[in-house]
Each structure stands twice: as structure tokens, then as C-alpha cells.
Structure 1
Amino acid sequence: MREPAWIGVDLGTQSVRSVLVDATGTVLARAARPLTSRRDGSRHEQDPREWFDTVDAILAEVSTPDVRGITICSTSGTILLTDTDGNPTTAALMYDDARAAGYLERIVAADPARWAGAMQPTWALPKIIWLLEQQDAERTSTHLGSPRRVAHSADVVAAHLVGHPVATDTSHALKTGYDLIGDRWPREAFDALNLEPGLFPQVVLPGTELGQVSKAKAQVSGVPEGTPIYAGMTDGCAAQIAAGALAPGAWNSVLGTTLVLKGVSKVLLEDPTGAVYSHRHPDGGWLPGGASNTGAGALTAMLPGADLDAFDRQARELGPINAAIYPITGRGERFPFVAPKAERFQLGDLPDDLHSYAAVLQGVAFIEKLAFEHLESLGAEPVRSVSLTGGAVRSGYWNQLRADVLGVPVELPASPDPAYGMAVLAASAGTSVTRTAERMVRIDRVLEPRPQERLTTLYGEFVAELDRRGYRG
């Protein structure tokens, strides 16, 4: 008999990726296709119809008759409007689209206790109001009042595969304003914002069956007709599953253009600053974390065209330096503190680009350490291990540096991508995702921390400079 397998799909910003995984966690096939985006200042959007052919193509590359389920993740806060059949009627406003920032004050006023300090300009809810008002202004009298729906990008792709609109999941619904504690849409606040209840989809837990692959899509994609489509999570949570960081004390740190931390807590962590927000754990409890505006993006911004691989090799010989850069690429910080006016700064002398490279790496590691300290101050369990994922894990020097600064072992998962995490979630349908991940997720390497007195001293100076500038409150 053939062994069962599951497909995970990651609907990202620059590409769609899929992976086919068996019950042991072995990757049987991978596929990827690029996506195009349109950027114009604070605006960033995609044509959702491009997703359909792209997803069909990658599924055709990885699918087999043994597929038992598919789960999809997408970027957090990416939103669009559809008709009642699930067909897109607007562009998809991407996770970092900030065109609706002017609506933030109105939203907070509708429910200050819920959203003051928590709602952010790039979250989905402000963009939904902007889309609705733009659509109302453009609609003709013939079409005025025709039904419409709010949908996240993963919802639209799932609907494409099953042939009808589907529910959304608690993870994607978070930045759309869903009340995770009350397990409902905040109707009173939505009434104050003139948002009709019928606009919003039903919300289910990740791993819930949304529907089955239709006959038409089976013929195009090669996925067997009737294959279940399960509710997914946002890409950050998907990477956390891929890293196996699903028990209290274990954390996933995703370092790419920006830095994102995800962990586990039995109780909801309350953060009055709004820097930390929490998703629901599929097995119960919470997945607290936050997303910083600092990260590896500072390297390409500060050192355009540089041979970063060469710098990485040279940094091994250089070792820790007496300098650090607060590596923010624009203006404003959101985690581990909220500081709209935060700007890049440096400590110490930087005689050349190699030292600037090393200073950025140290600065990111310091922000990462500060983030964990902030989470622990809110009641999170002490950090005992950190799984590293994201593009930055290609730097072996940086991986060891982060272990040294954090003072805990760091783990490098064998398959750390979000699509893999979605395959694990699909395989856990009806059971515990934590136990399924224990069986499927493999750790490739563990790096132990080394004492570095120079880094400890510099970290104290770095935090003191953040405080002197008033960034931490």
C-alpha cells in the first residue's frame, strides 16, 4: 500500500511554494512559482487572480494519488473583497500596505478598550474599511447594494480549490479584529464602524476541514477529487509549526527582512504597550509573539551590492566587536517596544563595511534578546531553546552569535519553511499538532551558547541608548 502524504502551501509575497510530506516528515516533493506585486509608496497590492493559476501549477508538480489533505498559509493582514461566490472584486492589499493608516483613529474610537495601543495601520481592519469605501464610491447604481464578503488571501485560494466560499481561521482573522477571547466578531464595535455582519466569514480553528477539492480543480491540479482542504494559519505561525516550537519555553525566531518571534503560553499575555499579540494555539492555549521592523533588511539597505557571504566568512575571524547598529530600515518600531519615531543609530566606531556588517548582526541579536526579556516580563515562561528559521539562517556566524547573545541553545530545523508547517498541520487533522510535530519535525543542528563578556557589556550600553532616546516608554 502507498503511504499517505500531505501538502502544505505557502502563499507568500514574492512566490507561492508547496511541499509534499509523508508521515515521517520526509519531504517527497517541492515546487515554487513567482508572484508579482505592485508597490507605490505606502501601497502594496497583488492581483488575486494570479494566485489561482500559480497554485494550480505548483499543486500539479507535487500532488500524488496518496494526498490526504492540503493546508494553506498566507501573509498576516493581507485582505480583499469578493462576491458571494468567492470571486475577487478588488486587489489584495498586502500585509505591509499602509494606505489606510488614516482610519486608525476611527477604529480605536469605536472600541478603545479593545484596540487602543493594539490596532496597527497595516492590520487588515483599516484596509477593509478603505476597500469598502472605495468600492462604494466606484459602484454604479445598477450594482449598488450587491452582496460582498471580506476574505483573507488563504481563504480565497481555498475557495478556488473547493468551488465555494469557505470559513476563515482564527489566525488569519486576528488582524481583521476577531475577538479571540470571546470567540466572535466584535459586533458592537463593527456596528459603530458601519460594518455589516454579513461581510465577515465564519471563523474556525486551524486544522478544521473547510471543504474538499472539486472535480474541476482535481482535473487541473492533479489533486484527487474530494481531498480535504483544512484551515491554515498565518505564515509566521506556519513557520513556528515547522520549527516544532509548540510547547511553553520553546520559541521560534524568524529572521528575514524583519525579525518575528513566536512562542507558546498557557495563559494570554497582556501587553499594555501593544507590542505583543497572541494567536490561538490549535491545541489550546496561546501563541504570543511580535514582529520587529529590524532585521536583515538593514544589510541590503546599508550595504547595497556588497558580498554578504564574503563578509560572513571574514566576520568569523573578526569576532565580537565593540560596536552595534540599531538596524531599523525605516522610521518607527513595533516590537519589542512601540516607538513610531524610532530611527537607526550606532554605538562605537565603524572603520569599514565589514565592521558595519558585524555591527548590524550584533544589533539584531540585541533586539532579539530584548524581545525575549520583554516577553518574560509579561509572564512568558523562561526561554529554554530557540529554533531559528528565515533566510538569515544561511549565516553560520550569525546563528552562533545569536546563541551567544541569548545565552540558550539555538536549534536549526531541517525543513523550516511555512509550507512544511502547513503540511504538518494538515497531517494533524483531528489530533494534536504538537504531537504530530514531535513525530515529523527534525532538528538538523543545535548550537550551544558561549560566554561573551564583551557582548554582555555592549548589550547593556545598547539598551541604555534605547532608553536615553525614549524608545522604550
Structure 2
Amino acid sequence: MTRPSARDEAVWVGVDLGTQSVRAVAVTAGGEVRGAGGHPLTGRRDGPRHEQDPESWWTAVGAACRRALRDVPAGAVQAVAVDGTSGTILLTDRAGRPLTPGLMYDDTRAAGQVGRVDRAGAHVWRRLGYRRMQPAWALPRLLWLLEHRRDLFGGPGQDGGGVRLAHQTDFVNARLTGGPVATDLSSALKTGADLVAEDWPHDVLGELGVPAGLLPPLERSGTPLGVVAPSAAEFTGLPAGIPVIAGCTDGCAAQLGTGRLSAGSWNSVLGTTLVLKGVTDDLVQDPHGVVYSHRAPDGRWLPGGASSTGAGIITRDFPGRDLAALDRAAGAYEPSDAVTYPLAAAGERFPFVAPEARGFVLGEPRDEADRFASILQGVGYVERLCFDYLAMLGAPVDGDLTLTGGATRSAYWVQLRADVLGRPVTLPGHAEPALGAAVLAASAGEALPEVAAAMVSVRATVDPRPAHHTRFAGGYLRLVGELERRGWLPRPVAEHARERTSA
């Protein structure tokens, strides 16, 4: 990797394409953030549909990068990498111009295509460990586009009539380089990429009617894709000619941004929803099809899953409130007599798949503070159940646990989660996927764990309070039992959770 003579002068740029904004950071090899910038995004939701305008991604990337690089000398910038939301796709023409909106990661309009996808690709999905696809995954949505946007295709043929599939990161990388790019294996997982063979399963996709020419080539995250074109340099402030490095999904970027990449390490991202991502040497096999594994740049695996529970229910039920005051009041209810399953919208994805799941409250909270406490504890219980589920699958779960996401702004909630889980938790100094993308940009040709460890600082380690872990066991088991009774949580999973609690 080419660097200035003074290594600490060099910076690498990471760009995070989130749901609500684009964030860019310029980071040194020692982890100092020399510049940061953001720009908001908006979308359109209509029932199961969730779309964004791809051109708004590029507009936001330009604005975020210009702000991040405002005080950074152009000669210091070494490379850039982009992460994006998992499974967000669109169709473009040969020149990379969007032909459709971006169909977002949680768009479930193609739920009716899942059975067809699972029948055609059963042998591949089984080998990849996740067994079956979920309604929000990208391959069902691609089939929906092929069926409902036939006007885009010039007739039969193996090239797709000049139409191309692009993931969110592909669209931005093509604008950065000025031409077609490969897609990273991480972004392509939910589109059906075979991460073991590191290729598309052409027989499966052919059976599903996906034109071979529609698909971009595949590369591992961390692979150079090209260089920043002059037009993109003018628009973004990135120097022309610097490498554009293949990125990953935002969940994988968050894991890389923790700096903890040894087998058994995990990152729990708690924002609107809860996402867990870990590191394993071997591919995790899940007979229930809940956990799926991305491929790490070094060939190891990044298993995890995304729950539909999280802080979104607080945004919904306590809008505009003083959350710090509610935190202080919630401390009087440990544990709450009420048990909340904190699902803000319909359907659950992890630690079980239940499209029919709905949130509920067992018992009657005594007051508003008790209700708030039961929500915080309920999220902790779901997080604990996720780890019990991963342990049941044989995944190593006893390594470092890092907490990231907006919920880490609440010191009380961080402490509560450590108590419910009964384990120490680590808070990084800069907890954001954009940092993980910068780690990828800096790691091309370098050892990823060493690069990540050097670029990520630790803000604090929080230990569970003595005796508090057992205090929450009763509430946890009540939630597990109710999820099992409703038929959402499989009995073997519930029994394993009870065994681990009594151990």
C-alpha cells in the first residue's frame, strides 16, 4: 500500500450508506478521525414496499465526502471503501444509470417469490448454512423486478437486454470509478451468491429465469475495484486516481469497525433494530434458517442475524421525551414486573423467523417508568436469546463483545445489557460502520486484523454488576416461555435457553 513517509499523515476514507443518511469519515492508521461528514436521505414506504432514489445516494455521498475532506490535504488520502444496507438492489442500464428505484433491505413486496427461490436453490442454501431465504432478501425482489418490469428488457437473450443488477454499493462504486464494477460477496449474499464457491450459482439462477448478463462479477471485500475518476473527484473531493476498494454490508462494516476480529468475537448493534455479527473460523449451519454468514475478507466467516426488536419501539412510544430522565426512573424497576417483547412492527427475523409475530406485554406496568424499564429489559432479553441461539448452533460466543449503535449513548442501558447478558461489554471510541469501511480501505494488501486493531480505539469496558445477572433470569424465562407458547420460538431453542440459564 502506498503511503506518505509520515504514516500518521495518511488517511483512508470510509463511506456508510445508511437508511437515513450517508456518513463519511477520514481516518488515520492510528485511528484518529481527521474529518467526518454526513448528509440525510429520505425514502418512500407503502405497506411492504420501501424505496429510495439511487441518485439521492450519490448526491449524499458527494456532500458527505466533501465535508469529511474539508480540512484533509488531498495528498493524504490513500483509498476509499463504501458499505451499504444489506440486500438493497436496483436495475441500471449499461452506463450505470438507474432504471428502477432502490428496493431497500426491508422491502418485502416479493414474499410470494420465496417458495420458488427455496425450491430451486435448496441444495445451495443448505450448503451455505442458512437453508432458506427470508421474505426481505434480495433474490426474491430481483425476480419481482424481472416479472413486473419486463418493459426494461429488449427481448429474450442471455445478456438481459443491456439491463444490469446493482447492489447499493455497486451503484456508488460505479459512479466513483466511472464504469462497471464487480460486487462484493458480502452485498451479494442475499442475492444468492455462493460464498463457498465465491461465484454465482448459475444453474439455480438460470432455472429462476435470471439472465446471466444481468449479474455483476464477484470479488471479496477488500479487493481493489478501480480508481476514482476525475469527474467523481470533482464531485466528492476525493483525489482522482486513488483506489476504490470493494466494501461490504453495513452490518459487516460495523463488525470490522470494532477492531475485534478474532474467532468468537461479536458485535451487537442496537439502534432502531438489533443486529448481531460475529467471527468464526468455520461456516455456521442453521437448521432453522435464521442465522446467515457473510464471507470475511480473509476467508473466515461473519455469522449473524437481524432482529426486528430494538429501540424503534422507544421512538414510537416515547416521542420527544427526556430519555435520560426515563433512564434514571427505570433504575427503580430491576426487574420490572412486566415483561415486554419489544417488537415495533410486524414480523421477526432473529432469533427466530415468524412473519406473524407481534409485540406484547406480559403483566401490567405500574407506571410509565416501569413500562420504559420493561422495554429496556425486553431488548436485553432478546439479545440474550440471540446468544443462546448462536451457542445452540455451536458458534463460539465467549469472546469479546462490543456494543455499538445509537443505544450506546445511554450509559444505563449499556450497564443493563451487561447485567442481563452476564458478561463484560466493550465500547469502541468511534462506533460506526463508516469506520469499518475505512478499515477495509486501509487493509487492501495488508493483514485485516492488525489494521483493524490499530485503527480502532476502546472508549470503555463495562462489567456486569455482581448478582444482577441472576436478578433478570425470571423475566428472561417468562419471555422465552411465552414466545414458545405462541408457536414462534421452536421448542429446542426454548429448552436450550432454559438449560443455559440454569447452568
Which residue among 56, 59, 62 is the counterpart of 2:65?
Answer: 59
Per the alignment, residue 68 of structure 1 pairs with: 78
Residues 315 and 127 of structure 1, relative CA distance in 2, 3 Å threshold: same
Per the alignment, residue 227 of structure 1 pairs with: 242
Which residue among 121, 127, 140 is the counterpart of 2:135?
Answer: 121
Distance 1:343 1:35 in 2: 28
SS in 1 for 2:83: strand
Per the alignment, residue 32 of structure 2 pairs with: 26
Q: Does 1:85 align with 2:85?
A: no
Per the alignment, residue 183 of structure 1 pairs with: 198
**C-alpha deviation, 1:389, in angstroms:** 0.5
Aligned residues: 472
The 5-angstrom pairing of residues 329-344 of structure 1 reads 329-344=344-359
Output one character per residue of 1:220-270: Cα deviation in whole Å (capped at 9) or x when no partner.
Answer: 322211010000010001111111231112110000111100001111110
Output one character per residue of 1:399-421: Cα deviation in whole Å (capped at 9) or x when no partner.
Answer: 01110111110011111101011
Per the alignment, residue 476 of structure 2 pairs with: 459
Distance 2:362 2:279 in 1: 34
**C-alpha deviation, 1:96, in angstroms:** 0.8
The AA in structure 2 aligned to 1:129 is L
Per the alignment, residue 132 of structure 1 pairs with: 146
Distance 1:287 1:139 in 2: 36
What TM-score results when the alignment is normalised by the length of structure 2?
Answer: 0.90
Q: Does 1:247 align with 2:257?
A: no
Distance 2:397 2:51 in 1: 39
Distance 2:153 2:197 in 1: 35
Distance 1:151 1:11 in 2: 14
Contact 1:9 1:419 (C-alpha < 8 Å) held by counterparts: yes
Residues 428 and 296 of structure 1, relative CA distance in 2, 3 Å threshold: same
Residues 377 and 178 of structure 1, relative CA distance in 2, 3 Å threshold: same
Contact 1:384 1:408 (C-alpha < 8 Å) held by counterparts: no
Q: Does 1:274 align with 2:289?
A: yes
Contact 1:372 1:383 (C-alpha < 8 Å) held by counterparts: no
Residues 312 and 74 of structure 1, relative CA distance in 2, 3 Å threshold: same
SS in 2 for 1:185: coil
Contact 2:336 2:365 (C-alpha < 8 Å) held by counterparts: no
Per the alignment, residue 108 of structure 1 pairs with: 118
Distance 1:291 1:338 in 2: 10
Q: Does 1:404 align with 2:404?
A: no
Contact 2:263 2:399 (C-alpha < 8 Å) held by counterparts: no
**C-alpha deviation, 1:115, in angstroms:** 4.3
The AA in structure 2 aligned to 1:351 is R
Distance 1:139 1:462 in 2: 50
Q: Which runs of 5+ in 1 are unaligned?
A: none
Distance 2:414 2:367 in 1: 22
Higher mean C-alpha deviation, range 104-113 or range 288-297? 104-113
SS in 1 for 2:257: helix
Per the alignment, residue 290 of structure 1 pairs with: 305
Per the alignment, residue 36 of structure 1 pairs with: 42
Per the alignment, residue 501 of structure 2 pairs with: none
**C-alpha deviation, 1:145, in angstroms:** 6.3
Higher mean C-alpha deviation, range 42-51 or range 70-79? 42-51
Distance 2:220 2:153 in 1: 35
**C-alpha deviation, 1:131, in angstroms:** 1.7
Distance 1:219 1:361 in 2: 46
Contact 1:81 1:149 (C-alpha < 8 Å) held by counterparts: yes
The AA in structure 2 aligned to 1:18 is A
The AA in structure 2 aligned to 1:17 is R
**C-alpha deviation, 1:457, in angstroms:** 2.3
The AA in structure 1 aligned to 2:266 is W
SS in 2 for 1:416: coil
Per the alignment, residue 261 of structure 1 pairs with: 276
Distance 1:89 1:411 in 2: 43
Distance 2:434 2:397 in 1: 29
- Percent identical pairs in the alignment equals 51
Contact 2:152 2:163 (C-alpha < 8 Å) held by counterparts: no
Distance 1:347 1:197 in 2: 51
Contact 2:182 2:218 (C-alpha < 8 Å) held by counterparts: yes
Per the alignment, residue 15 of structure 1 pairs with: 21
Q: Does 1:310 align with 2:325?
A: yes
Higher mean C-alpha deviation, range 45-54 or range 404-413? 45-54
Q: Does 1:469 align with 2:479?
A: no
**C-alpha deviation, 1:323, in angstroms:** 2.5
Which residue among 216, 232, 242 is the counterpart of 2:231?
Answer: 216
Which residue among 204, 209, 225 is the counterpart of 2:219?
Answer: 204
Higher mean C-alpha deviation, range 359-368 or range 448-457? 448-457
**C-alpha deviation, 1:317, in angstroms:** 4.2
SS in 1 for 2:348: coil
Contact 2:153 2:162 (C-alpha < 8 Å) held by counterparts: no
Distance 2:311 2:464 in 1: 21
What TM-score results when the alignment is normalised by the length of structure 1?
Answer: 0.96
**C-alpha deviation, 1:300, in angstroms:** 2.2
**C-alpha deviation, 1:140, in angstroms:** 7.8
Contact 2:16 2:24 (C-alpha < 8 Å) held by counterparts: yes
Output one character per residue of 1:368-416: Cα deviation in whole Å (capped at 9) or x when no partner.
Answer: 1111111111111132331000111111111011101111100111111
Distance 1:145 1:242 in 2: 37
Distance 2:218 2:462 in 1: 40
Distance 1:424 1:139 in 2: 39
The AA in structure 2 aligned to 1:123 is W
The AA in structure 1 aligned to 2:187 is H
Distance 2:393 2:154 in 1: 51
The AA in structure 2 aligned to 1:28 is R
Distance 2:474 2:439 in 1: 41
Distance 2:363 2:109 in 1: 37
SS in 1 for 2:426: strand
SS in 2 for 1:146: helix
Per the alignment, residue 335 of structure 2 pairs with: 320
Which residue among 373, 377, 384 is the counterpart of 2:388?
Answer: 373
**C-alpha deviation, 1:166, in angstroms:** 0.3
**C-alpha deviation, 1:15, in angstroms:** 0.8
**C-alpha deviation, 1:344, in angstroms:** 1.7
